[in-house]
Structure 1
Amino acid sequence: MWPRRQLLQAVGAGCLASLSPWSHAAKDDEIVIGQSVPLSGVLADTGRDMAMGGKICFDAINSQGGVQGRKIRHVILDDGYDVERTLANTHELLQKHEALALFGFAGTGNIQRLLADKVLANAGVALVGPYTGGEPLRTPYNPWIFHIRASYAEETSAMVKQLVFSGITNIGVFYQDDAFGQSGLQGVVSALAAANLDLTVAASFPKNTELVDSAVQAIAAKSPQAVILIATNRPVAAFLQKYRALSKSALFFNISVVNPKAIVQFAGADARGLSIAQVVPDPNGTKPIAQSYRADLAKFGAGAQVSSSSFEEYVAAKVLIEGLRRAKTLTRAGVIAGLESLERLDLGGHVIGFDPNNRLGSHFVEMASLRSDGRLIR
């Protein structure tokens, strides 16, 4: 992880002249990429890793001369995982910094607000690699968001299939009470229905809190064999600690948007055995994309550690860079056209694909088990 102050200092600041969104073009010497990300609050550990993934990729391409003769300026703003701050940051990125594209935002509800307010549509701007698998951002189709990860429905389907195959049919859900949590919950319900099963119990907690006690009690009262968690680092850790304190046993599965090392840091031994969905290949693996990531992290990461979160946004940055390369004009519309041309982009053992009618770039999901040192076993 990189300290929040250093991340903010690394990108600098700037103000460009206003242009209409569709004619908006990059300056002669730079391309501005904007990112609103939680560098504070309950998702800060993950947010810092997300920002780092983009930073090292953009730094690497800048060290090679940039894209189409221009260096990338990566502007990062902290939103604390708060919807209103994400909205304000996006306006700042588009209007003050005149970002050519947006990148690596977090939060289903946060990004859903951008769609509801037509912020992306009015600016004619692409958002690449959002750190969410929420269905409301995928259905109905919208042309602005380019996803490089599987959906929560695909993640939860993989979990349910694994559990049912093992003979486990008594399943509960702990979820965040917002669009993110509801999306994951619906994925579990749909996957169970496909197996002719019903959900045993579901209980929620408020976003941006660790107020999990009532959910713990409600789920424990039904004694499910397994609990699927649709939550982020700190509430996941709080749930595991409080549930295990009741001497209740269950298998625990978590959606992908967590930082394994942060969960171990917060929950200690109570994090043992947690299975976490993964939507990118192993960042410690042998695939060329993973080797490239580790090399760039070592060179540009200022001591940051390998993580799935930073690797995911590194992959997203690679995709965005290729879209910039293929853009016939470095305008917001040109970037979208460049991204649409990536019908089968092999990044080195991991394939992403878009076209004019498809924004779902990957369906990769696999499960990993959390070790006591915060590493994942696949």
Structure 2
Amino acid sequence: MASAAAPSWSQSAKAAGATRSLAVAQIVDSSPSQLDVSRDFLIGSRAAWQEINKKGGVDGRAIQHLVLEVDGSAASLRGALDTVRKTANCVALFGTAGDRAASQLVTLLKHDQQDIAHVAPWLQNSDLDGGPRTFSIFASRQDQIAQAIKSLSLMGVPEMGAIYASEQEYALYRNDVELASAALKIRLVSFKPTTGLAQVGKSLGADTPRILLFMGGTPELVQFTQSIDKQARQRFVLALADVNLQTLMQMGASRQTPIMATQVVPMVNAPLPIVKSFRQALARFFDEPPTPQSLAGYIAARYTSEVLGKVEGTLTRQSALLAFQQRQVVDLNGFRVSFNAQGRGGTYVTQSMVTADGRLVG
């Protein structure tokens, strides 16, 4: 993690309780496959809480941002949750990142029946929506897939290939991809990665669809694009919000293959007030370029503070949970959170693109 992101990840419950301030906890997964998203999401969240506290906190009370690092294991996640449980002044969990930790935490909270709000996690799976403690505000993976494929159908693309980063992604996401492509009448050719991504890339023939939907993270996409770099037939790759296009370029992804990625927040150069506030906070507190993932972390913190500020009476873990359970419509200066019947508060999806000559456009 960048040194600008500051203090140590974890903090003892005793130390956290020693202050009069209220606390919110954020669990972030620093394992290699999740680090790309978690790092930027955390930076955006840190910037937001520093900005919020500079402006008086929540109802005049400073909010302590307690960050707990996990390593991807169930034991590590349970240990972080135990720390939250013992931290008496912690009123909510928010912004869990990445998707794997967020999904596991939803399950843990259901099993443990903890009365704490789990707010604005980087949760991609819509099958986990609708619980009494988790409040997802970003579009699901299913929404992103539908948007990506819809954009192809509008262009009249008749077929598409689906590339999965591992057998795990193949097992988890194949059904979603197939349902979305069938609904839009696009023929789908799926590639199961039994021999590794590099080999999958090299095996693509002239009859393989030129448009490829990639289900995986940034490092895996770099590996895949490098494997198709020298093919005579140019490919066009679609990826989802777990892919960081800025990092992709830094890591040496193929410059021969145009890559488009969905994102669940506005463009980082959009004229919306929430985006302008984000860029100002990021420039003020961190020496980091804006990314969709850091904007998502910023929005997650801003939404959390907005709802906490509406709690009537004493702000506690229980009163905070009740406030989030009202699932009221919140407009965060241009980013609207409005919960649907399934319990998800956002379906916003847009796309940005790395062109074949290395430019990032949106």
After TM superposition, the score normalised by the length of structure 1 is 0.84
Question: What is aligned with 2:80?
Answer: 89
Alignment partner of 1:136 is 2:127: yes
Deviation at 1:294, TM superposition (A): 1.0
Structure 1 CA distance, aligned partners of 2:227 and 2:55?
A: 50
Alignment of 1:245-256 (within 5 A): 245-256=230-241
User: Contact conserved, 2:213 with 2:239, CA < 8 A, in 1?
Assistant: yes
Unmatched segments (≥5 aa) in structure 2: none
Alignment partner of 1:307 is 2:284: no
Structure 1 CA distance, aligned partners of 2:311 and 2:9?
A: 24
Alignment partner of 1:122 is 2:113: yes
User: Contact conserved, 1:261 with 1:374, CA < 8 A, in 2?
Assistant: no
Question: What is aligned with 2:43?
Answer: 52
User: Contact conserved, 1:67 with 1:324, CA < 8 A, in 2?
Assistant: yes
Structure 1 CA distance, aligned partners of 2:25 and 2:194?
A: 31
Match 1:265 to one of 231, 234, 250: 250
Structure 1 CA distance, aligned partners of 2:167 and 2:272?
A: 36
**Of 87-96 and 274-283, the range deviating more from structure 2:** 87-96
What amino acid is the match of 1:188? V
**Of 90-99 and 165-174, the range deviating more from structure 2:** 90-99
Deviation at 1:202, TM superposition (A): 2.9
1:258 aligned counterpart, secondary structure: coil
**Do the aligned partners of residues 128 and 116 (structure 1) sit closer, same or farther apart at CA in structure 2, a change above 3 Å counting?**
closer
Question: What is aligned with 1:21?
Answer: none
User: Contact conserved, 1:36 with 1:104, CA < 8 A, in 2?
Assistant: yes
Deviation at 1:368, TM superposition (A): 1.5
Alignment of 1:1-378 (within 5 A): 3=2, 7=5, 9=7, 13-16=11-14, 29-95=20-86, 99-118=90-109, 121-138=112-129, 141-177=130-166, 182-204=171-193, 211-217=196-202, 220=205, 223-270=208-255, 272-301=257-286, 303-328=287-312, 329-354=314-339, 359-371=343-355, 376-378=360-362
2:262 aligned counterpart, secondary structure: strand
Deviation at 1:349, TM superposition (A): 1.5
User: Contact conserved, 2:12 with 2:83, CA < 8 A, in 1?
Assistant: no
What amino acid is the match of 1:152? R
Structure 1 CA distance, aligned partners of 2:94 and 2:131?
A: 16
After TM superposition, the score normalised by the length of structure 2 is 0.88
**Of 237-246 and 178-187, the range deviating more from structure 2:** 178-187
Structure 1 CA distance, aligned partners of 2:111 and 2:24?
A: 14
Unmatched segments (≥5 aa) in structure 1: 19-25
User: Contact conserved, 2:119 with 2:300, CA < 8 A, in 1?
Assistant: yes
**Do the aligned partners of residues 17 and 260 (structure 1) sit closer, same or farther apart at CA in structure 2, a change above 3 Å counting?**
closer
Deviation at 1:195, TM superposition (A): 2.5
- After superposition, the CA RMSD in angstroms is 3.0
1:327 aligned counterpart, secondary structure: coil
Structure 2 CA distance, aligned partners of 1:119 and 1:271?
A: 46
